[in-house]
Structure 1
Amino acid sequence: MPKIAVLVGSLRRESLNRQYAHAIEKIAAGRLDFRYVDMDLPLYNEDLWVSPPDKVVQLKAAIADADGVLIVTPEYNRSVPAVTKNAIDWASRPYGQNAWKGKPVAVTGASPGRQGTAVSQSQLRSTLVILETVVMGGPEVYMTFTKDLLDAGGAFASPDTAKFIDGFVESFARWVQLTGGRS
């Protein structure tokens, strides 16, 4: 089963995007093996490569070892959250040691706003292409996180939403296979 490094762009333990990621994981069970990556990293600083922080080494190893990467990110002020961008920067450095290169990546996110995370995802896709990832173009999923999105067990409450997310998961699983992810 393909190993998927999951990067949740929010550090809050009960973040909407962490809940959303876990609901996606329930849909993906048996097809994709989700492995959550610790995003609580120091701010990127080139000087730290002299003795890189353990969490940075673990981040790079998690991405390098994964068959694909799922980024589940909120949108802050119509942009990518600092925690997401920071992880991207750490994993792309030092020069010549880009852990992102060739990785199949899918991006999604949830927000209470009606636009979901459309702007953040668009910006992320631009950055990820420069890093030589293989970004899945669609389906694009900009989830509006309402109080009734998930049931008490953390699964999608609506069968229609679950079916839609199942299509996203199936597309990503195929994308990982087609673009060279190991299985």
Structure 2
Amino acid sequence: MKKYKVAVIVGSLRKESYNLKTAKVLMEIAPESLSTELLDIAGIPMYNQDLEENTPKEWVELRENVKKYDALLFLTPEYNRSVPAVLKNALDVGSRPPGKSCWNAKPAAIVSVSTGSISGFGANHHLRQSLTFLNVPTMAQPEAYIGGVADLFDDQGNLTNNSTKEFLKTFMLAFEKWVITHLE
């Protein structure tokens, strides 16, 4: 069985982030063909084209690291009906210089996670819009909006809601098919 390297990119910096907890669940239940790793985007300096002349090492590292992966799995909270700045910054940094985007043509999926009932719908769709421009084929179905997440985990960070677990398993199986379809 062929293995595909998947970068798991979490758009929340909080240590006890529900997005991070959900990412860990997805990594645990990922099909065997998907080898998942967290890709840390926390320390990347904000994009400023003036810095391209003396490119920050963190930008170079992000660009090189993303190139090592076959596929991308994004988890995002919703901030003001959009994605957090850290996630958008990572996309901007990785998309430069023009014509050399490290994101190009990598199959992806998005999970938005929120304590609210709208489930990060706005962030999910803003991220999808950016990924379309970056030529990242993003899985359309099943869509993954996890709302009311504060009630889904116990104090130790374990997902306790069985219907959510089953949905996430279905989601990851669909993602596996999506990755295989785009890479074989």
Answer yes or no: same fold by TM over 0.5.
Answer: yes
Deviations, residues 60-103 of structure 1 (Å, cap 9, x unaligned)? 12221111001100000111111111000000001121111111
Is 1:55 the equivalent of 2:49?
Answer: no
Distance 2:68 2:11 in 1: 20
Q: Which amino acid aligns with 1:104?
A: P
The match for 1:32 among 31, 34, 45 is 34
Alignment correspondent of 2:97: 94
Is 1:156 aligned with 2:175? no
Counterpart in the other structure of 1:6: 8
d(CA) in 1 for partners of 2:130, 2:149: 29
Structure 2 match to 1:147: 150
- Report the Cα distance in structure 2 between the residues aligned to 1:148 and 1:31, rounded to whole angstroms: 31
Q: 1:109 aligns with which of 109, 112, 127?
A: 112
Q: Is 1:179 matched with 2:182?
A: yes
Within 2, Cα distance between the matches of 1:49 and 1:156? 42
1:29 is displaced (CA, Å) by 5.8
Instruction: Give the share of equivalent positions with the same residue, in percent.
Output: 38
Q: Distance in 2 between matches of 1:9 and 1:77?
A: 14
Distance 2:177 2:130 in 1: 23
Q: CA deviation at 1:147?
A: 3.3
1:153 CA displacement: 5.3
Separation in structure 2 between the aligned mates of residue 23 and residue 151 of structure 1, nearest angstrom: 13
Query: 81, 84, 95: which one pairs with 2:84?
Result: 81
How far off its partner does 1:52 sit? 1.9
The residue number in structure 2 matching 1:72 is 75
- Give the Cα–Cα distance (whole angstroms) in 2 for the partners of residues 155 and 176 of structure 1: 27
AA aligned to 2:41 is: M
Maintained 8 Å contact 1:26/1:155: no
Counterpart pick for 1:45 among 35, 48, 61: 48
Cα distance in 1 for partners of 2:27, 2:138 equals 19
1:134 corresponds, among 133, 137, 140, to 137
Q: Any unmatched runs of 5+ in structure 1?
A: none
Task: Choose 152-161 or 68-77, whichever is displaced more.
Answer: 152-161
Point out 4+ residue stretches in structure 1 off by more than 3 angstroms.
Answer: 145-148, 151-155
Deviations 1:112-160 (A, max 9, x none): 0001111111111111111111111111111014333124554421222
- Distance in 2 (CA, whole Å) between partners of 1:110 and 1:125 is 15
Q: For residues 31 and 154 of structure 1, do their structure 2 counterparts lie closer, same or farther at Cα, with a shift above 3 Å needed? A: farther
Q: After alignment, is 81-90 or 57-66 more displaced? A: 57-66
CA RMSD of aligned residues (A): 1.6
Q: Deviations over 1:31-51 (max 9, x none)?
A: 422211121211101122222
Tell me by how many angstroms 1:30 deviates.
2.8
Distance 1:31 1:58, change over 3 A: same
Q: Kindly tell me the number of residue pairs found equivalent between the two proteins.
A: 181
